[in-house]
Each structure stands twice: as structure tokens, then as C-alpha cells.
């Protein structure tokens, strides 16, 4: 639980650093998880010819992370670690097949329930059978 709370606190403070007056409205938090993307695959991280103007704008106007690791090299372990702050091997059942167990805090649940955010997801989920 503590690691997910720390993750939420970290994301909230990092996002707040990207705006001038965050006291009137909480900052927007956008997490982008891309598979098979290396450190230098985006112009904002030094790629010489790739063009990603919208991602570059997010990096320029927001908070760009330069020190990070994922908890696995494939999609489900990476998502499980990002969402829960836990090593995927700690779960008794594989989250790709059975989902994140009820009662396990996630970044999105904490942002929604504790901080009042509206949360959403677009794209591949791969955290359960649905």
C-alpha cells in the first residue's frame, strides 16, 4: 500500500511542478506506457529524426521523467507494477489472466477515491480477462 501511495504522491507532485498555480485546480496526470520503446526512441529524449509533436509538447510543457524502470519486460508485468507499485511475482495468480485482486490499491483507485480525480483508460489493458 505504501508504495502505491508514494507513487500517487510522486505523480501528483511531479505534475503540479509543471503548472504555475495548482491550488485552484488539481493538475492533469497522463501516464503513457508504450511497449518495446527504448530510451532514445523519442525526439524529447534525443532521437534524431522521429517526429512526435504531441508527445514532445507534453514533455516540454509538463514533467519529463529521466530515471525510471519497469517491473517486467513484457506488457502485463509492466502494467501490474505501474498500477500497483508491487512486483508482479507477489501475486498468487497471474494478473493477465485473473486481474489485480480486489483490495489491492492501484494508482487509479487512489487518485479517484482519495484525490477526487476522474480516471480513464485508452488502449490495451491486459490486466485481467475482460
Query: Which residue did the predictor score with more confidence, 110 or 35?
Result: 110
Q: How far apart are CA 1 and CA 97, in angstroms?
A: 22
Q: Which residues are catalytic?
A: 75, 126
Sign of the CA dihedral running 69, 72, 75, 81: negative
Please write the tens of the pLDDT for every residue from 59-74.
898 888 888 778 888 8
The pLDDT of 45-62, averaged and rounded, is 90
- Percent of the chain topping pLDDT 90: 33
Cell of 82: 505501474
Q: CB within 8 A of 99, min separation 6: which ones?
A: 127, 128, 129, 130
Q: What is the DSSP letter of 91?
A: S
pTM confidence score? 0.69
Amino acid at each position: 500500500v505504501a508504495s502505491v501511495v508514494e507513487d500517487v504522491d510522486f505523480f501528483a507532485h511531479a505534475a503540479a511542478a509543471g503548472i504555475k498555480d495548482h491550488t485552484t485546480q488539481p493538475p492533469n496526470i497522463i501516464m503513457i506506457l508504450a511497449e518495446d520503446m527504448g530510451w532514445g526512441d523519442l525526439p524529447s529524449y534525443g532521437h534524431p529524426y522521429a517526429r512526435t509533436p504531441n508527445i514532445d509538447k507534453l514533455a516540454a510543457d509538463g514533467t519529463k521523467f529521466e530515471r525510471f524502470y519497469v517491473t517486467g519486460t513484457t506488457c502485463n508485468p509492466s502494467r501490474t507494477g505501474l498500477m500497483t507499485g508491487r512486483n508482479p511475482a507477489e501475486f498468487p495468480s497471474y494478473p493477465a489472466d485473473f486481474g489485480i485482486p480486489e483490495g489491492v490499491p492501484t494508482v487509479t483507485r487512489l487518485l479517484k477515491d482519495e484525490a477526487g480525480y476522474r480516471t480513464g483508460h485508452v488502449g490495451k489493458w491486459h490486466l485481467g480477462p475482460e
